[in-house]
Amino acid sequence: MNIEYLTYNEKPISAKSLMELYKDACWWEERKEKDIEQILKLGISVGAWEDQRLIGFARAVLDGKFRAYVEDVVVFKGHQKNGVGKEIVSKLMNELSDIDVVSLFCEEKLIDFYKDNGFKPSKSQFVMHKKI
């Protein structure tokens, strides 16, 4: 398997390609292509490319200095458990190496995956959301 891991600046990611990944993961069916195009231009994102096909993706929302938040780590089902996710997260973390704290939220079944990528669970914080 010949896979390249490139930032959005190294190889732009189309909203259509990302929406295919979301669909495979049953995520964000309500999101529109124009909105996806907008988020791709913000923050830092990494794509995993097999030839010209986007097979994995992750992005970070950040303030540029102190904090970053990892979002949307997704890999096509047929490429999961082959190290693609680990490489995407590793490349993203390299891009965020100047940031003080990088955070993320994940399902319980993914805790070990993120621990293997250097993240530590926090028992002192609570996750709170407000949809506007």
Q: Which residue carries 């997704």 as its tokens?
A: 74
Q: What secondary structure, in 3-state letters, does the chain show?
A: CCEEEEECCCCCCCHHHHHHHHHHCCCCCCCCHHHHHHHHCCCEEEEEEECCEEEEEEEEEECCCCEEEEEEEEECHHHCCCCHHHHHHHHHHHHCCCCCEEECCCCHHHHHHHHHCCCCCCCCCCCCCCCC
Catalytic residue among 5, 22, 69, 114: 114
Q: Indicate if 114 belongs to the active site.
A: yes
Nearest to 6 by CA among 94, 70, 99: 94
Q: Distance between CA atoms of 3 and 92, rounded to whole angstroms? A: 15
Question: Hey, which residues are catalytic here?
Answer: 114
